[in-house]
Amino acid sequence: MIPVVALVGRPNVGKSTLFNRLTKTRDALVADFPGLTRDRKYGHAHYAEQSFIVIDTGGIDGTETGVETHMADQSLLAIEEADVVLFMVDARSGLMPADHLITQHLRERKKPTFVVVNKTDGLDPDVAMSDFYSLGLGDIYPIAAAHGRGVIRLLEDALLPF
* Known binding-site residue numbers for GTP: 9-16, 56-60, 118-121
Considering beta carbons, is residue 52 or 59 the nearer one to ligand GDP? 59
Residue 128 CB neighbours (<10 A): 24
What is the radius of gyration, based on Cα positions, of the chain?
Answer: 14
In whole angstroms, the minimum distance from the beta carbon of 157 to ligand GDP comes to: 19
**Choices 35-43, 66-74, 116-124, 134-142 (CB under 5 A): range interacting with Mg ion:** 35-43
Distance CA 31, CA 12 (A): 8
| Contacts of residue 148, Cβ cutoff 8 Å, sequence gap at least 6 | 21
* Known binding-site residue numbers: 9-16, 56-60, 118-121
Residues 102, 71: contact at Cβ < 8 Å?
no
Q: Which residues bind ligand GDP (CB under 6 A)?
A: 11-17, 30-32, 34, 37, 59, 118-119, 121, 144-147
Contacts with Mg ion by CB under 5 A lie at 16, 37
